Each structure stands twice: as C-alpha cells, then as structure tokens.
A and B are shown apart, each in its own frame.
Chain A
Amino acid sequence: MIFSFVSAAVINGQTFHFGIQYMPLQATRISFDQNYIIFDDYTALKTLNPAFRISLPSLSNSGLFLRYDTRQIALQTGANFQNNVYFFSEKSSYYSPDSYVSFFYSSVDIPLTAAFTLRPDGKVKYRILAGVNTKLFKFKRNYYSVFEKRWNYFNYSEVIASDKNKREFMVAKINPIMLYARAGLGIKYYNITADLCIDKNLTNMNKQVDKYNANFVDSYQINLILGFQISPGDLKNKTRELKIAKE
C-alpha cells in the first residue's frame, strides 16, 4: 500500500519525496510509580532512578518515509520498525559485575511531523521538527534475539530464561497502542537528513494499571533518525532546472 501511494506521489509531482530511514542510536528514559517491580516468578527488582541510557537498538530499526516539501515547511510521515529498549533495573550476578536489566520490544511507529527549515537556500539546511508518533503493536523479537540461542552454555541458559521471563513480563505490561509527542532538531544535506528527535508518551503506557505493582509513568525516547531520499532530490532538480534555463 505504501509503495503504491509513494509511486503515485512521485508521478504527481516532485514536491513529494520518499525514501528509507534508519535509526542507529537510541537513548531512553523510563520511570515508575513504585520502587520495586514484582514479577510473576515471585522475585522483585528495584527500579532504576530514571535517567537517559543509550543503547544500540538493532539493525532492524528502519522504515520508509514520505515527505511533502515546500521551501520552508516539510510534512513527513512513514512507517518504521522500531526496537524500544528500556533499562529498568540493576542486578547483581555471581558470574559478572552488576549490570542494568533491560527489556525491549518492537513496534511499528507511524510518525507525523512538521519540519521548519531555517536556512532554506543553504547547502546544509537546519530543521526544527515537531509532531506526534504513534506506536502500534508489540513484537517480542528484535535483531539480537537471533544470537541468544548461541549463548546456551554453562548456566547462561538459566540466566537467559530468567531474564526472558522478566523481559516478557515487562513487555506484557506495555500498551500496544501509544501516542507520543515528538520534537527534534536536524539537518538536511541534499538527499540525506539527520534528525535527533525526542518522543514523550502522551497516552498511558500501561496496558492495565496494577494497584499492587509498579506501573510505568513517563517514557522518553531519543532517536537519531537518518533519512535517505530515494526519489529525485534537490540537486537533481536544480541541475534539471538549470539545463532547461540554458536551453
């Protein structure tokens, strides 16, 4: 559907652009309303003090975008496969130093953003972005899951099983439909954009609020979003315009 829409847009006019985008870097921050999370295996973990923590989520963090460009304003939407990695606790282990405990899930993100270009005539254009991002679905798997089975030696099978239970417990608490507010700064250089966007949840992150357990309160996500425009870009258009003018 997206492809047919994009194709139509390209045919109808050059102000519509489409391309792929890739999110290689993520920092997230999550907060809870209680100091401990109780899991269904009867264990409890202390929640981390909320702070932004960086992760390299996955190669899978990618998608397609469709952008309507005017001289100063651009409206952009798309669909991305997005891994969401949240560090929520810290654990002590016999085999390794203390480490953060994270859970992750993947969603399909549908952002709708408006970008205001600060230097529309410059080679490098600076952008300010604002909009919303809708997270739909939750998938348990991301790219790294493929490698987990290979760590199956010594006691790691149990470590992973234990971690997996906790991770799945956390994922089960997540609401599969969420709306986030988005703001960001970025640059555009010919066909490439690089935006640093921060998302904050506007809707309840909990699928169901549990009175006797920790619930999510606020979730922030900073993503570096690299966009690669596939449709003919500004440089190509300008060359074509110059050629026409010369003729």
Chain B
Amino acid sequence: MKNAIYYILILIFWSGGSCTPLEEETQWISQSFSCGVLSSEVTGYINEEITLKVRFFILDKEESDQLTKRSIENSLIIQSLDVIGSLLDFREVTTPYSGNYSCGVLIDEIFNLYSYDTGEKFSITDVFLRKYLKNAGADNSFLISGFKKNTPPVSFISTGYTTKVQELDLPIAEILNNVIRPTQRLDSIPLLESIDILLEKIKQSAPPENKNLLILYSGNKYYHNNIVKDSIISKALREGTRVSTIMNAGGDYYVNYDLNNEDIIYKLAIETGGLIYKSSDYLGGKDLYILASRLGNIFEGNFRCFESTWKIVPYDKSTDPFIPGFFLKTELQVELQTGYDNNTFSLPFGIYIR
C-alpha cells in the first residue's frame, strides 16, 4: 500500500513534465507601411510655377509591393501653407542599377528610440541597424559611427569599412545601449561637424564606387555648429557621396526641429540624390523595420518605385518667389489602407531650385 502511494506520487510529479514541443504562436504583425521620398528634382521653373519630379517608394509589411498604381495615384497630394501641387504624370519606374555600395552610417545617439510596442523596452535603432546590415547583401561594405556631445564628437565602432556585418552586431549594441541620454544642453551637439568628419573619413577609406552616407537623425536642435553649411554639400558632391537621412517622427519632449539643421539635411539629400525618410510610427517603429530590409536594394539600384511629376504654384502672394536658391520643406501625402482604415502618410521632402 505504502509503495503504491509512492508510485502515484511519481506519476503526479512526472505528469507535469511532459516533453511535447511548444505550440507555434502566431506573432502579431500590425498593418504598416514604410514610405519615403527617394529624390526630388526641379526640372523647370518660371516665376510662379515649378515643374517638379518626385520619386518615392511605398513598402508594405509583406514586402510584396502589391499596391496598385491607380489606388495610390488617386490619393496623392502636395499641399502646404506655401504651395499647391497638381499632379501632371504618375508612373512606376525602376532606378538604375549601381552595383555594390559602401555605406557610412552616422548615428545621432539621441536617435536611439525605445519601443514599448510589445510591452518590452528595446532599442529601435539597434534593431533597425542590425536588420539593415543583415539584409544588405554580402559584398557591400559598412562603417558605423555615432555622434554625441564629446570631443571628438564622432566615435567609430570599427577601424574602417567592413563587409563582415556580424562583426558589427556586438559593437552596435554597446554603442546604443550605453547611451546616457543628456538632459540638458542638447543643442551643443555638433551635428554638422560630425557630418563633416564622416565625409572626410569616407573620402579617405571608402571604396571608390557608389558611396553613401546615412544619417540617423533625431531631429534635435543642434545650434553650435562651427562649420559652413555649403562646404558640407560641396564636399559631398565633390566626393560623389550620396547623403540620405532617416529621422524619427518625434515624440520626445525635447525634440524640437531646428530649421537650420533640417535645411542642411534636406539640401544634402536633394543635391546628392539621397533619400529623406521620417518614421511615421514612432511607438512601434515597425515602418523602420520594413525599410531596414529594403534599404540595401534602394542603395544598390534596380529598385522599383513611383515617379510623380507636379506643377507647383504658390499658395498666395506671401510665398517666396521661385528663383534660384528657393528652398521649401514640404510633404507629399498618400492615403493607404491600413487594416480596416485608410491612413494618410506624409512623406517629407524639399523643393530646391539650385
């Protein structure tokens, strides 16, 4: 009898430890898009009219690009307090293939956003960068750096360009997860000096073809820049470096877009043919993850995108005249179906008459 009780006890203990595999749980993926402007070019202008060509991309979560041209065409708008746009032409185009590329990444360490999307706090930038590098293709080379309020302001996590992206995994985690976010004097972080330092580094050590500089910019105010803005643009153009910028959508209490900083970022992108992207999903950052897996394709070329041609006219008489040097930040709006709703996505870009 006593032994029987023991054997029953054994059975009870063992019943808890059944060794069946865990059931697969379907992971929740929200309906999300990643949209940005690849390039904007003023193809002609007269006093009160600009002809503008804007190339943009829309990536969906499935990466299938099943969006119909017609549904997008009907929802496109360029409208701001300064200008009104009328769509003249809309088509799908494929960008020319540029081949392998190099990319120097400059991380504004304040850009390091945290996601609470799944209840768990983790760095969006960390995930974005790692996902981008892993999906970038084997023969492309990368240089990762961060800028912050330090001397020198830029710190490199590798000695030079590398094609072995796994080598960057741990240093990226170190650089982004050890950031102590400054609570004061954010404006003293020298953004433009940092861009200048990286352009110099690219000049010295990047492979000669298809050079890119990707700035992950927080959008914070950075006033103290002892650098002439136009010299950065000249340097980028001289070295044939395409400068692209990815910005977060804001949300932190101290984020306050500074016109001077954004102007230079926009102009750099327009002049060098780089993309401008602003995250539209601050909390989740899922749009950045979609972009991360396709950013390599964008840099390599042979990338399918949309091309829209616009007639831009002034909204009223207060708009600056359309003469060389005219610069305006504006947005291209597109309506997309997200789940059961339609949402308007705003794609920031700049109109610049050289």
Contact = CB atoms under 8 A, between A and B. Distances in A.
A83 B19 CA distance: 11
Interface string B2-37: 010010011011101111111001011000000000
Interface in A214-232: 214, 228, 230
Interface in A18-76: 19-20, 22, 34-36, 38, 41-46, 58-62, 64
A162 B117 CA distance: 11
A243 B291 CA distance: 85
Contact of B118 (A142, A159, A211): A159
A60 B13 contact: yes
B22 A145 contact: yes
Contacts of B169: 38, 44, 212-213
Interface string B30-56: 000000000000000000000000000
Contact of B127 (A42, A160, A163, A230): A42
Contacts of A20: 6, 9-10, 13
Nearest to B176: A44
Given A34-B170, A36-B170, A94 B121 contact: yes
A95 B120 CA distance: 8
Given A36-B177, A157-B28, A228-B6, A94 B116 contact: yes
Most chain B CB atoms below 10 A, which of A45, A46, A60, A160: A60
A4 interface: no
Interface in B212-262: none
Interface residues of B, number: 38
A141 interface: yes
B166 interface: yes
B33 to A, nearest CB: 20
Contacts of B166: 211-212
A239 interface: no
A103 interface: no
Given A62-B13, A162-B118, A141 B173 contact: no
Contacts of A92: 120-121
Contacts of B177: 36, 44, 46
A44 B123 CA distance: 8
Nearest to A228: B6
Contacts of A12: none
Contacts of A19: 6
A181 to B, nearest CB: 25
A161 interface: yes
Contacts of B3: 230
A213 B116 CA distance: 25
A198 B263 CA distance: 63
Given A38-B170, A161-B28, A93 B13 contact: no
B6 A161 contact: no
A161 B27 contact: yes
B327 interface: no
A195 B58 CA distance: 64
A141 B20 CA distance: 7
Contacts of A163: 120
Contact of A155 (B16, B118, B173): B118
Contacts of B123: 43-44
A212 to B, nearest CB: 4
B44 to A, nearest CB: 44
Interface in B81-128: 116-123, 126-127
B36 to A, nearest CB: 20
B134 interface: yes
Interface string A181-224: 00000000000000000000000000000011110000000000
Nearest to B15: A60
10 contacts: A42-B134, A59-B12, A62-B14, A91-B121, A141-B18, A157-B28, A158-B118, A164-B22, A213-B170, A230-B6
Interface of B: 3, 6, 9-10, 12-14, 16-22, 25, 27-28, 116-123, 126-127, 130-131, 134, 166-167, 169-170, 172-174, 177
Given A159-B119, A214-B170, 5 more contacts: A43-B122, A58-B17, A157-B25, A158-B28, A212-B167
